């Protein structure tokens, strides 16, 4: 059974041996969020892999992104006949120069424009479908929202929060080092777990984003 948010806060205070006057609910919540974002920055775990479909607007190079995008992975153009083509990533100057002539056609390239939009080139001539593949901004574990990490990786989340707590409290260095070591080890194991779940082709794009130690091929066992 997944831990409740209230029980999680109680666990944190039990481990740190301080009350709510020292570690307020809002302070612990900030630490929870820090750890959630840290994990998402290190491991592309399956629960955060999302996609959304939209439509190119004819004569408009801009495409809006979903509101919960953390990392944009890829963009696919889908024709009316169902043919899928990945767009190549370029910088904004390339897109602007490419579109400078005003020519329209089938988009082949894209660039990040800002937090909410990408731009494509050539400028779309037709309203074909576009699929946006991305890493979602991790949901926040709260009193009203259960999350994948709280449900399936409670120990990792707890040890990460305890690391934040002991840094904040300037508590005993040995306790800080203990929880930091546990947290880092669990993040490594989580990354390996996620790699094991994916087909080889799915992690050719460089996930996980943390360095996973492995022996040299020349090293004897």
pLDDT tens per residue across all 221 residues of the chain? 789 999 999 999 999 999 999 999 999 999 999 999 999 999 989 999 999 999 999 999 999 999 999 989 999 999 888 899 999 999 999 999 998 878 899 999 999 999 899 999 999 999 999 999 999 999 999 999 999 999 999 999 999 999 999 999 998 999 999 999 999 999 999 999 988 876 544 544 444 444 444 444 444 44
DSSP E strand boundaries for the chain: 49-55, 62-64, 69-78, 84-86, 88-89, 104-105, 109-112, 117-121, 123-124, 129-136
Q: Is 57 part of a structural domain of the chain? A: yes
Question: Is residue 82 located within the same domain as residue 128?
Answer: yes
Question: Is residue 118 located within the same domain as residue 151?
Answer: no
Question: Is residue 151 located within the same domain as residue 175?
Answer: yes
For the full predicted model, state whether its pTM sits above 0.85. no
Last residue of a domain, one of 86, 110, 136: 136
Question: Is residue 53 located within the same domain as residue 108?
Answer: yes
Number of domains observed in the structure of the chain: 2
Question: Is residue 55 located within the same domain as residue 75?
Answer: yes
């Amino acid at each position: 059974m997944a831990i409740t948010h209230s029980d999680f806060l109680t666990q944190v205070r039990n481990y740190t041996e301080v009350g709510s006057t020292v570690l307020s609910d809002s302070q612990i919540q900030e630490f929870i969020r820090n750890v959630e974002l840290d994990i998402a920055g290190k491991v592309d775990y399956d629960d955060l892999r999302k996609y959304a479909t939209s439509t190119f607007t004819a004569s408009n190079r801009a495409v809006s992104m979903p509101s919960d995008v953390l990392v944009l992975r890829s963009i696919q153009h889908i024709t009316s006949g169902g043919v899928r083509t990945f767009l190549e990533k370029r910088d904004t100057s390339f897109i602007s120069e490419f579109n400078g002539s005003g020519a329209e056609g089938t988009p082949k390239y894209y660039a990040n424009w800002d937090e909410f939009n990408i731009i494509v080139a050539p400028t779309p001539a037709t309203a074909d479908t576009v699929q946006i593949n991305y890493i979602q901004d991790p949901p926040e574990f709260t009193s009203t929202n259960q999350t994948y990490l709280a449900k399936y990786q409670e120990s990792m989340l707890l040890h990460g929060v305890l690391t934040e707590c002991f840094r904040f409290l300037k508590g005993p260095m040995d306790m800080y080092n203990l929880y930091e070591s546990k947290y880092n080890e669990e993040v490594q194991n989580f990354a390996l777990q996620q790699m094991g779940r994916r087909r080889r082709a799915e992690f050719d794009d460089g996930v996980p984003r943390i360095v996973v130690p492995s022996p040299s091929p020349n090293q004897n066992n």
